[in-house]
Amino acid sequence: MARIVASVCGVTGPFDILAYGPRATLREAAPPEWVPPMLATLTDKPFSDPGWAFERKFDGERCLAFRSRGELRLRSRSCRPLEGTYPEIADALRDQPLDDFVVDGEVVAFDGARTSFALLQQRSGIKDPEVARMSSVRVFFYVFDLLYAQGRDATRLALLDRKRVLRRALDFRDPVRYTVHRNCDGERYFAQACTHGWEGLIAKETTSAYVPRRSSDWLKLKCSAGQEFVVAGFTEPAGSRIGLGALLVGYYDGQGDLVYAGKVGTGFDRATLVELGRRLKRLESTRPAFTPAPKVGRGVHWARPELVVQVSFTEWTSEGKLRHPRFEGLREDKAAGEVHRENPRGRTVRGQ
């Protein structure tokens, strides 16, 4: 049974910058093997509020880093090992002066000043660390939260206290970077983010604890529409196209049915068409997984709904289909059964 660490004098290292009250929320605990990441809820209403902090939303791969007794593990959102994929990040975290910690962040690759999920795809499929080290795609780990350090569970600390401790706990040198935040002025920051071509912002309630689930204490504001979808079919390629013509994608509703959302036929390079075609051939099925089955014409191959892809689009049509969808990449870090349509939720500004 964990117990509260109530002695101010007994808390040292990065936690000693905290006042007595925040320190009293710390709990002695063994290093965790796994912590499900805290997830943000989508909203379509930019806002300003002194009780919220605003961080850049990165277009990358979520990553939690666990270091204990000399061992360093990187895990994806679905707990998939990532040390072989991003060995330079693992090396940098092994060299940290703090010998036990759990931190949360995002691995990204840059195309100019913008993070590019498509570019990161060139690294995310690699499992051999030596092959990864030879890649021309440079990656960075933007750390935004601290969950555990020096034998103490920090998840009950308020967000801004966790970020204060995090800033002191790690040595931030490339490829490990600290995720800065801005207070209060979320609307102006969001406008700037979209002007700069960012993915968007994450708004976080400044006194919130870290919880292992989706929470309305973290809100995501996107500059353009996009989310994950399940692939449950594909069409035959036409003309000089190879591999496949278009992906048939959908999402799970509240009843567990896979709802058809449309065809995705752009955004592929030649290598991706070949790889997706090969993988989908292995998943071919004689019957559609969609409920109800869509009327999509001839030349369609159904597939077992196992692959998850990232898709950008301009909007949802009144018929519930994607307008101008574009393939962005495969999502190896999310299970098909977790894919649902993201519906923005409003929020009430404090005092209203």
Confidence band, pLDDT 50/70/90 cuts, at residue 350: very low
Question: For 125-151, how does the pLDDT look when each residue is reduced to its tens digit (9 = 90+)?
Answer: 899 999 999 999 999 999 999 999 999
Task: Give dist(CA 316, CA 337) in Å, integer.
Answer: 21
Number of H helices and E strands in the chain, helices first, is 7, 21
Give the end-to-end CA distance of the chain in Å, rounded to a whole number. Answer: 41
Q: What letter does residue 93 receive in the DSSP assignment?
A: H
Q: Looking at the predicted structure, is the pLDDT value of residue 351 above 80? A: no
**pLDDT, tens only, 299-320:** 899 999 999 999 999 889 989 9
**What tokens appear for 253 in the block?**
């509703």
User: pLDDT band for position 12 (50/70/90)?
Assistant: low
Burial 277-307 (b: 16+ CB within 10 A, else e): beebeebeeeebbbeeebebeeebbbbebbb
Q: Does residue 198 register a pLDDT over 50?
A: yes
Query: What's the chain's length in residues?
Result: 352
Residue intervals of the chain classified under CATH 3.30.470.30 are 13-222
What is the mean predicted confidence (pLDDT) over 33-42? 96
Does the structure show a pLDDT above 50 at 352?
A: no
Residue 26: per-residue pLDDT: 95
Q: Are 312 and 329 in contact (CB under 8 A)?
A: no
Report whether 60 contacts 235 (CB < 8 A): no
- Average model confidence (pLDDT) for the chain? 91
As a whole number, mean pLDDT of residues 257-266 equals 96
pLDDT band at 6 (very low <50, low <70, confident <90, very high): very low
Residue span(s) of the chain under CATH 2.40.50.140 come to 226-338
Q: Is the pLDDT assigned to residue 77 strictly greater than 50?
A: yes
CB 66 within 8 A of CB 102: yes
Write down the CATH number for the domain with range 226-338. Answer: 2.40.50.140
Is 154 within 8 Å of 145 (Cβ atoms)?
no
So what CATH class is 13-222? alpha beta
pTM exceeding 0.85: no
**How far apart are alpha carbons 327 and 268 in whole angstroms?**
7
Indicate which residue of 57, 204, 222, 263 is catalytic.
57
Query: Which tokens go with 46?
Result: 């930019």
Quick one: what percent of the chain has pLDDT higher than 70? Answer: 94
Chain-centre distance of CA 308, in angstroms?
A: 14
Instruction: Flag whether pLDDT at 349 surpasses 60.
Output: no
163 is catalytic: no
Rounded-to-integer distance, Cα 101 and Cα 99, Å: 7
